[in-house]
Amino acid sequence: MDFVIAVDGPAASGKGTVAGRLAELYALPYLDTGLLYRAVGVAAERAGGGESAAIAAARALKAEALEDPDLRTRSAGELASQIAAIPEVRAALFSFQQRFAATVGGAVLDGRDIGTVIAPLAPAKLFVTASAEIRAERRWKQLSGQGEAVELAEVLADIRRRDERDSGRASAPLIQAADAVLLDTSDLGISQAVDAARRIVEAARSRWETSRSG
Ligand code: CDP
């Protein structure tokens, strides 16, 4: 496998920001896999909701659907985490993600199961986390900036419910891969978190280069 960077972690942990910056630094293509689940959740809801609508939406998903700005809303995140527990939905999204991870030259993917299921052989794996309170504050600022009127306490409740659902599901639960490096961003600003991530990836890259030359 080429140099794949797998970034997993719970909602609003900063994994998207870290993954995006790493992709720029290493000039690698980047896939935010949460968008796939958000797009399926929104499409299924528009089609009337329910498990079979979600499975059909996952099988019919087109790349253009990922451009929809509505995917960033609070309700899209909630719908995503509900349909993400359906094994057939995950199965339908699997090969697209695996093909992306197999890009010649490498790739960066972020999500919940990149290091465990999608790219278990990724040379660099990070598990980005932060306390639920800090994550709620970040998500609340983001949603408020997008014009969504919501209380901080509601966002914290969303985050806790989502953590529980994502970690408790049977199919590809949110869990740190045994070989992933933990990055707790609770007390870090964006540039500090990115620097810390870069150090982790640099160490992984030298190990990967050594293993390839040996
Ligand atoms: O940004 P945030 O973490 O809130 O959400 P996201 O990464 O866009 O993911 C939304 C939901 O999709 C998560 O709560 C997960 O339930 C699901 N998801 C997943 O199951 N597997 C992935 N690889 C990515 C997202």
Per-residue pLDDT of 23-33, as tens digits, reads 999 999 999 99
Q: What is the pLDDT of residues 112-145, one digit of tens each?
A: 999 999 999 999 999 999 999 999 999 999 999 9
Measured between alpha carbons, how far is 54 from 189 in angstroms, rounded to an integer?
Answer: 37
Residue 177's pLDDT is what? Answer: 97
**Structurally, how many domains does the chain consist of?**
1
Q: What is the pLDDT of residues 170-207, one digit of tens each?
A: 998 999 999 999 999 999 999 999 999 999 999 999 99
- Please name which of 176, 160, 182, 155 lies closest in space to residue 74, comparing C-alpha atoms: 155
- Asked if the model's pLDDT at residue 213 lies above 90, the reply is no
Q: Which domain holds residue 170?
A: 4-213
Per the prediction, the chain carries an average pLDDT of 95
Ligand 1 centroid, distance to 35 Cα (angstroms): 7
Q: Which atom of ligand 1 is nearest to the CA of 10?
A: 3
Ligand 1 centroid, distance to 104 Cα (angstroms): 25
Residue 214's pLDDT is what? Answer: 72
The CATH number of residue 32's host domain is 3.40.50.300
Q: Which atom of ligand 1 is nearest to the CA of 71?
A: 8
Ligand 1 centroid, distance to 135 Cα (angstroms): 14
Place of tokens 């995950």: 90
Measured between alpha carbons, how far is 72 from 117 in angstroms, rounded to an integer?
Answer: 24
